[in-house]
Amino acid sequence: MQQEDRRTLSREYFSKERLAEHHYRSFNAFLNRGMQEVVTEKGIIDTDIGDKEGEEPVFVELGDIRVVTPRVREADGSEELLYPQEARLRNITYAAPVFMEMTIVKGEGDDKRVVDSTETKVGRMPIMVGSEKCNIANFDKEDLVEIGEDPADPGGYFIVNGSERVLMTSEDLAPNKILAEYDTKYGDEIQVAKTFSQRRGYRALVLVERSRDGLLEVSFPSVSGRVNFVTLVRALGLESDEEIVHRVSDDPEIVKFMLENLEAAEVQTQEEAIETLGKRVASGQGKNYQLKRANYVIDRYLLPHLHEDGVEEEEVRINKAYYLARMAEACFELALGRRDSDDKDHYANKRLKVSGDLMKDLFRTALNKLARDVKYQLERANMRNRQLSVNTVVRSDVLTERLEHPIATGNWVGGRSGVSQLVDRTDFMGVLSHLRRLRSPLSRSQPHFEARDLHATQWGRICPSETPEGPNCGLVKNFAQAMELSQNIEDEQELKQELSSMGVEGIPGIESIEGSAD
């Protein structure tokens, strides 16, 4: 290849759009799909109206949500288009109004009637410079120069109160994936299979441990200590010894391990298992409450990623039991030397949270805050016998404040700090470096030697030399020059159908399709 050709190729590859493309794609996906997904998850805002005898219940149904392009409200009440340079100079936020369809419904069943239904402004969403909704998205070089913008500016950041803030790409362990490893926290080396089960922003760590005496125990949120494995899978619906053993493995050596667990089992039936669990999660309470609480805990906190809308609860529980059996098999395979310990630093076991994913987490908490405020305003209006209307119960500054403040300070939901940072404007390369930087959630004060080391799987993905000196060394990294970041699958159902057509069986939510793998 001639040197001139290489230059042309390089110039095309490292074009303005390419350098911050991962931020654009992620944020555009959030605006186009992510926001609506969060609203659909929420669905309804319930109120306490109707708790008194003879009072009709009132609730709010949430509909479509849309974002327009950035606007600024002037002192005379008029609304004008806002451009990034103006936002910087006037120290204001480059944000666009957000509108949502809301319907106040009174009564229940056949007596339901709509009190008020309208599309109302619920707040303002900070808009990424250069994204689809940005006012300068389709401007050419001359137009950009005319309004005072730098044509070479890569975008990919937000402007809040006049400051340019970039959301740092965050590195995390892959959710919903079984990782098996050795643990020495109890003095002896034990085998542990763990998974970070994640659904709709909630993340639960589930552990299956093989103790020194060979017995399996499970730890998951809201249950103190560890629960016997056999007790838990029986509570989930796998009652017979044969079925439990078969689901874990048919290998003779693993079967021998499982028989030891079955001999030491505390319970034999599903009812006994749920009673035992109830005593753990609600000790000292009445029997009915214990059973109710035990069922709630295993449905809500155990492996939440296996929940699927429209799937029967019994089927979900069986799927959870099968998943735990797979985790138990991973522990036994590790103990028998059939598999190696999983490498947490291998890049296949990691996922990156880009701007859109971070904004989705933020929007979810902001919407919950808005929902609580709407509930309070509705109850107050009802108590004072006022006319219930959408426009009077929605205060738009509630959502706006919850979206702008974390971007302005960097203090994100989930107790994370430093997620948003002031764009490094030292020079052009500094801006590009900052937009393509990623950070690890690990503590800076701990050694974490292996996490800081250059891993072979970072080849072609992470720059081997660009990392800070000092406590951040190896924890703050940068993308390699020609790195391409893949996004999440847009249509999960389509992927499941494709796998099913190739002969993969037992995919939840998919009817069996005849077919075989090529």
Q: Where are the domains of the chain?
A: 1-166+353-440, 175-345
Taking only the tens place, the pLDDT of each residue in 460-482 is 899 999 999 999 999 999 998 87
Mean pLDDT calculated for residue range 420-438? 92
> Phi and psi for 238 in degrees, rounded to 5?
-90, 100
Of the CA atoms within 13 Å of residue 260, those in its CB half-sphere come to 13
How far lies 483's CA from each of 432, 454, 478, in Å?
Answer: 13, 17, 10
Question: Which residues contact residue 148 at a Cβ distance below 8 angstroms, ignoring those fewer than 6 apart?
Answer: 83, 85
Question: What confidence score (pLDDT) does residue 121 get?
Answer: 93
Of 71-85, 201-215, 413-427, 486-500, the one with minimum mean pLDDT is 486-500
Residue of 54 and 347 predicted with greater confidence: 347
Say yes or no: domain 1-166+353-440 is CATH 3.40.50.450.
no
Q: 309-326: per-residue pLDDT in tens?
A: 777 888 888 999 999 999
Single pTM value for the model: 0.87
In tens, the pLDDT along 115-151 reads: 888 999 999 999 999 899 999 988 888 999 999 899 8
pLDDT at 338: 86
Is-contact 131 31, C-beta < 8 A?
A: yes
Indicate whether 376 pLDDT > 70: yes
Nearest-Å Rg of the Cα atoms of the chain is: 27
Question: d(Cα 99, Cα 109) in Å, to the nearest integer?
Answer: 29
Two tokens, residue 100 = 């949502």
Instruction: Please list the residues that pair with 191 across neighbouring strands.
Output: 182, 210
What architecture does CATH give domain 175-345?
Alpha-Beta Complex (3.90)
Query: In terms of DSSP bridges, do strands 158-160 and 163-167 run parallel, antiparallel, or are they unpaired?
Result: antiparallel
**The pLDDT value given to residue 512:** 38
Residue 507: predicted pLDDT: 66
Q: Which of 61-65, 102-106, 279-283, 433-437 has the lowest mean pLDDT?
A: 279-283
Contact 290, 276 (CB under 8 A): no
Q: Work out the pLDDT band at 69, boundaries 50, 70, 90.
A: very high
**Angle between helix 396-409 and helix 355-383 axes, rounded to 10 deg:** 150
**Interval 149-198: pLDDT, tens:** 998 888 899 999 999 999 999 998 989 999 998 887 665 678 889 999 98
Separation in Å, CA 446 to CA 441, 442, 443, 472: 12, 8, 6, 10
CA angle 99, 100, 103 (to 5 degrees): 145
Distance CA 225, CA 296 (A): 18
Residue with tokens 């052009």: 428
**Average pLDDT value for the chain:** 87
The beta strand positions in 333-465, using DSSP E, are 350-353, 420-422, 437-439
